[in-house]
Amino acid sequence: MIQQTSTQPLDAASLPGPDTTMKREALLSPDPRLQAMLAEAVRVGWPAAFENDLYQHDLSILEAHPDELMVWILREHGTHLFAMECESAGQATYARAVIRYWSGEDKLNVILSPAERPKFYLVSSGGLAETTAQEAASKIRSTPDTPSREDHA
């Protein structure tokens, strides 16, 4: 489990990207999941672009899914965040497709350098656990878990 090692609170200057209102609002979030994500963004130095994926969009997704387990993709240029329990088989298929695309091994998006590949995490109120794209994709389920066309392939 990755946990914030510094006892000093995060500040806007340490987070990637320009100092914006959205960044400052993200810092004020009481959600421990977001705080762990922000600390990891500082540690890794990503996202270097599309920072509002983290500060605005991920925050909104976390607020819409309180206390739920999530899969987070941290990329050099943005993030993606998915609830592990999706509302439909189509939503689960989409999340798994995005994870597969960013794995670095997808035929449409080959990323040869391991240092440039996105990082994948399982997110809970206890912190982040770094994982693989394959493991992250396997955690995505629909509720009730209905097989998708992809499951039959």
Q: What is the mean pLDDT of residues 79-103?
A: 97
Q: Facing residues of 142 across strands? A: 86
* Average pLDDT across the chain, whole number: 91
Per-residue model confidence (pLDDT) at position 149? 53
Is the per-residue pLDDT at 66 higher than 50? yes
Residue-range definition of the domain harbouring residue 132: 21-142
CA distance 12 to 94: 33
Number of structural domains (the chain) is: 1
Q: Say what percent of the chain tops pLDDT 90.
A: 86
In a domain, 96, yes or no: yes
Is residue 152 scored above 60 in pLDDT? no
Is residue 78 in a domain?
yes
- 39 falls within a domain: yes
Q: Report the alpha-carbon distance of residue 53 to residue 55 in Å, rounded.
A: 6
Answer for the pair 81, 56: CB distance below 8 angstroms, yes or no: no
Distance CA 68, CA 125 (A): 8
- 58 inside domain: yes
- Asked whether residue 12 is assigned to any structural domain, the reply reads no
Predicted local distance difference test score (pLDDT) of residue 5: 42
Q: Which of 43, 32, 57, 6 is nearest to 127 (CA)?
A: 32
pLDDT at 151 exceeding the cut of 80: no
Tokens of 85: 């329990």
Domain contains 66? yes
pLDDT average, residue stretch 40-55:
97
| Domain annotation covers residue 152 | no
Average pLDDT over residues 108-129: 96
